Amino acid sequence: MTVERAILLVVGLLILASVLLAVYVNLNWLWLTGILGAHLVQASFTGLCPVVMVLKKLGLPQKSGFA
């Protein structure tokens, strides 16, 4: 698994989890969904993502097209 695929997996799971928590526990969990979306927009402009930094330190390989 590469960093690019891992970040898609992590963010996708967090979004699904927050939506399920909002449906079954409390609607306030939708704030997490909104924060994740805002972070994706921010990361697309700045290239700064803490999860990517952690995945790189764990030794996951990168594809050159997504550097």
CB 40 within 8 A of CB 12: no
Question: Could you tell me the residue range of the domain that residue 29 belongs to?
Answer: 3-57
Q: Provide the residue-wise pLDDT of the chain in tens; the chain has 67 residues.
A: 888 889 889 999 999 999 999 999 999 999 999 999 999 999 989 988 888 899 999 999 988 655 5
Residue with tokens 């290239």: 47
Asked whether residue 23 is domain-assigned, the answer is yes
Helices and strands, counts by H and E, the chain: 3, 0
pTM above 0.75, yes or no: yes
Which residues contact residue 2 at a Cβ distance below 8 angstroms, ignoring those fewer than 6 apart? Answer: 60, 61, 62, 63, 66
User: Has residue 66 been placed in a domain?
Assistant: no
35 inside domain: yes
Q: Is 63 domain-assigned?
A: no
Give phi and psi for 18, each to the nearest 5: -70, -35
In a domain, 64, yes or no: no
